[in-house]
Amino acid sequence: AQSVTQPDIHITVSEGASLELRCNYSYGATPYLFWYVQSPGQGLQLLLKYFSGDTLVQGIKGFEAEFKRSQSSFNLRKPSVHWSDAAEYFCAVGIKAAGNKLTFGGGTRVLVKP
């Protein structure tokens, strides 16, 4: 079965500093890859997605992610973090062969210091 691992449970970053969130997946082929963000007490919002093609994808709110097939990774980055980026971030994979279901990673909580 496919799995998604986000190794970092918590990350604290200073406002204005760069941010990188790690995501590794386990599956024989390239799945469809997503990053979602969840602010406290809210639903999830899609930041970006990767299906094929250019391995560097741009998303909303200034985020980007890079797909690395050799490392089975899809890491999320932002060059300069704002206080409003404090939230929970979920990496997810969708696999057609698995009934089109989306599997979420455990999440990474990002805290932003002033």
Partner 1 sequence: DTEVTQTPKHLVMGMTNKKSLKCEQHMGHRAMYWYKQKAKKPPELMFVYSYEKLSINESVPSRFSPECPNSSLLNLHLHALQPEDSALYLCASTLDRGAKEKLFFGSGTQLSVL
Q: Looking at beta carbons only, is 19 or 105 nearer to partner 1?
A: 105
* Minimum distance of partner 1 from residue 73's CB (angstroms): 18
Give residues with Cβ within 8 angstroms of 28, minimum separation 6.
none
**Distance from C-alpha of 105 to C-alpha of 87, rounded to nearest angstrom:** 15
* Minimum distance of partner 1 from residue 46's CB (angstroms): 5
Q: What are phi and psi of 69, to 5 degrees?
A: -60, -40
Tokens representing residue 100 in the block: 């089109």
Q: Looking at beta carbons only, is 67 or 105 nearer to partner 1?
A: 105
**Distance from C-alpha of 82 to C-alpha of 68, rounded to nearest angstrom:** 26
Q: Looking at beta carbons only, is 19 or 37 nearer to partner 1?
A: 37
Residues that bind partner 1 (CB under 8 A): 31-32, 34, 36, 41-46, 49, 51, 90, 94-96, 98-102, 104-107, 109
* Minimum distance of partner 1 from residue 9's CB (angstroms): 9
Within 10 angstroms of residue 6's Cβ, the number of other Cβ atoms is 18
